[in-house]
Amino acid sequence: MNGMRPEPGALRPDRVEGAVLSSSNEPELRIAVLGLGLMGSFHVDALTRRVRGSRVVVVNDFLSDKAESMARAIGARSVADPLAAIHDAEVDAVLIASPGDAHDAQVNACLDAGVPVLCEKPLTTDVASAYAIVRKEAALGRPLVQVGFMRRFDPEYVALHELITSGGLGNPLMVHCTHRNPAVADHFNSEFMIRDCVVHEVDVARFLLDEEIASVQVVRGVATSRAPAGVSDPMLVIFETTSGRIVTDEVYVRSQVGYEVRTEVVGEQGIATIGLDQNLQLKSADGRWGGAIAPGFVQRFGTAYDIELQRWVDAARTGTIDGPGAWDGYAAVAVCEAGVEAVRTGAKVDVRLERRPLAEPEPGITAPDLEAARP
């Protein structure tokens, strides 16, 4: 993709709606992957084996042995300094899966280099730095920053979004979410549960209802005996949107059961539910019946991650993004900050959003063409 890297500040390239740009004649998008933990390794595998039109050319991790062995396995180079990896002359686009506190510097470096970036959540770890990215991107005049809210690409969420936007439920009045993990590490305290888990429902609510969240309240009830002292697990988070709609979210990360992510939208003319694990139903000789619950988010959202990457790669080849952008990342950070304050104080906390720059791309994504996007 020589010559592909756009100049910072260049005009936004025309977007080819719905087009699958990958073909054997097109040069591959050369990607640097920063951070090779669970998500980074999963994405390297997807970009190498499942996504069309992409090649991981540079990998980076603070554990240099890990990066070197990954580089050897896929025929890439390991670059020890993440900022050098971003500015590497061979790199057309960057995928950030490093720890959250590294995102600010890395996303800024991508904007400086003028390369499209897919950044796993959080965009940054504080509101001011997230908004600074929104403004910096707006000043460039074209969207380069995509945030990894993969649920927007999950076929069930896409169907629910389409149902709402086509008016199939009438006016959506309330949304009820459930977010349960079977088990987590001890560092998942109440505040981390907001930033790391509830952040997905923040984005889901904004995506489905197409409006901002105005306030957050957290109700802390009886905790499971498996939670460390002082940790409220489960919690009930209540959002109110700017138009007054209510969104509830039960977050329970030590359920012992499985990975359950459900969303129910209650409308004036219907109620729709997704995430019911309605897969193979088996009746067995010992008198039991039922299906299987995904053990974790990689299994539950594997297809969504792959569709997200394919669409991002196709967009990045034209120098842009195709999914939740910097504003969505900023709004999620702002809501989570209010959520953390709500956990600490027990109060209903208002969300304060700065002005949205005019040059910022439209919120969310249009319903994707799932067949075309499928890797």
Q: Is 103 in the site for ligand ISE (CB under 6 A)?
A: no
Those residues whose C-beta lies under 8 Å from the C-beta of residue 156, and which sit 6 or more positions away, are 274, 275
Q: Give the pair of three-digit tokens for residue 260.
A: 């359950």
Helix (H, G, I), strand (E, B) or coil at 204: helix
Question: Which parts of 166-195 interact with ligand ISE (CB under 6 A)?
Answer: 181
Minimum CB distance to ligand ISE smaller for 197 or for 247: 197
Those residues whose C-beta lies under 8 Å from the C-beta of residue 242, and which sit 6 or more positions away, are 211, 212, 213, 214
* Rounded least distance, CB 78 to ligand ISE, Å: 25
Using the structure block, give the residue that is written with the tokens 């699958």: 20
* Rounded least distance, CB 190 to ligand ISE, Å: 14
Those residues whose C-beta lies under 8 Å from the C-beta of residue 250, and which sit 6 or more positions away, are 177, 178, 179, 180, 234, 235, 236, 237
Rounded to the nearest 5 percent, the helix, strand and coil shares of the chain are 35, 20, 45
Helix (H, G, I), strand (E, B) or coil at 71: helix
* CB-CB contact of 133 with 334 (8 Å): no
* Rounded least distance, CB 181 to ligand ISE, Å: 5
Minimum CB distance to ligand ISE smaller for 140 or for 149: 149
Question: Which parts of 225-254 interact with ligand ISE (CB under 6 A)?
Answer: none
* Rounded least distance, CB 188 to ligand ISE, Å: 7
Q: How far apart are CA 353 and CA 373, in angstroms?
A: 33
Question: Which parts of 334-363 interact with ligand ISE (CB under 6 A)?
Answer: none
* Rounded least distance, CB 140 to ligand ISE, Å: 28
Q: Site for ligand ISE (CB under 6 A): how many residues?
A: 5
Those residues whose C-beta lies under 8 Å from the C-beta of residue 3, and which sit 6 or more positions away, are none
* Rounded least distance, CB 113 to ligand ISE, Å: 26
Minimum CB distance to ligand ISE smaller for 77 or for 176: 176
* Rounded least distance, CB 277 to ligand ISE, Å: 15
Minimum CB distance to ligand ISE smaller for 185 or for 280: 185
Minimum CB distance to ligand ISE smaller for 22 or for 259: 259
Minimum CB distance to ligand ISE smaller for 255 or for 310: 255
Minimum CB distance to ligand ISE smaller for 43 or for 200: 200
Q: Is 149 in the site for ligand ISE (CB under 6 A)?
A: no
* CB-CB contact of 340 with 195 (8 Å): yes
Minimum CB distance to ligand ISE smaller for 200 or for 254: 200
Q: Are strands 117-119 and 54-60 parallel, antiparallel or unpaired?
A: unpaired
Question: Which parts of 195-214 interact with ligand ISE (CB under 6 A)?
Answer: 196-197, 200
Q: How far apart are CA 33 and CA 81, in angstroms?
A: 12
Residue window 267-306: x/- pattern of binding to ligand ISE, with contact defined by CB under 6 A: ------------------------------x---------
Phi and psi of 350, rounded to 5°?
A: -75, 145
Minimum CB distance to ligand ISE smaller for 88 or for 196: 196
Alpha-carbon separation of residue 187 from 140, 191, 232 (angstroms): 38, 10, 13
* Rounded least distance, CB 5 to ligand ISE, Å: 30
Binding site for ligand ISE (CB under 6 A): 181, 196-197, 200, 297
